[in-house]
Amino acid sequence: MKENVEELYDYDVLRRETEATMFVVHVTRPTLVLGSSQSRDVINRDSLGSTPLRRRKGGGGLVLLRPDDLWVDWWIPQNDQRWSHDVHVSSMTAGRWWEKALASFTSEQISVYGGPLEGEIDFRVVCFAGRGPGEVFVNDRKAVGLTQWRVREGVFLSTVLHAQATSDVLPFLAQVPPGLSDALNHQMLSSLSLEDPEDFIEILASSSGPWRLRQLLLTS
């Protein structure tokens, strides 16, 4: 049974937003975030301690967000030309925004995954252990995770490029499937030499915009 967990955003406020908005978001301390349909039972409650636990709108698995992560979300109202009724198109559009911006910072091979969900089913308990439409890979290692939430007012696209390795999410799991640690071998800010995320955000905003740009600090 899915227990009530505090939501990551005030999604009711978001739905009333009529302007296309790009959010650059930071948490004040490491925060665990469940996917929309995940049960809290995936968490080892004895290890949770004081770590905040939140729930996002949008699919996918558990993610551990940290203050230095490059976390970028977009709200696209239905009357905006970038809105699409097609779930796949929306994901691929966001992935290509990231691809274009990353190409300004690296000469490595960048690709946007366009197929169906891929990866061990047991590994899907954690977000960065598989592949989904619109997610971005550099030299075939996952760099950007992506999820979306769709309502009649628009679509909310949520993306993150981690600052550090995320294998330390494993102690929070009630059960750790064999091989999951190896599956969490992903790119990070450091491995991509993104030493100045502010410059990157500026390019990402200009190449995908125009947007109203908002900086958010989520306290917990």
CATH of the domain at 206: 3.30.930.10
pTM for the full model? Answer: 0.95
Give me the domain span that covers residue 199: 11-218
Q: How confident is the model at residue 2 (pLDDT cuts 50, 70, 90)?
A: low
pLDDT at 196: 84
Cβ 62 vs Cβ 169: under 8 Å: yes
Confirm whether 101 is domain-assigned: yes
Number of domains within the chain? 1
Confirm whether 5 is domain-assigned: no
Confirm whether 3 is domain-assigned: no
pLDDT at 199: 93
Residue type, 177: P
Instruction: Please enumerate in sequence order all residues whose Cβ is within 8 A of that of 183, keeping only pairs 6 or more positions apart, or say none.
Output: 119, 120, 123, 129, 130
Confirm whether 176 is domain-assigned: yes
Sign of the four-CA dihedral 77, 113, 36, 61:
negative
Confirm whether 135 is domain-assigned: yes
Q: What is the mean pLDDT of the chain?
A: 95
pLDDT at 186: 96
Confirm whether 150 is domain-assigned: yes
Q: Is 213 helix (H, G, I), strand (E, B) or coil?
A: strand
Confirm whether 181 is domain-assigned: yes
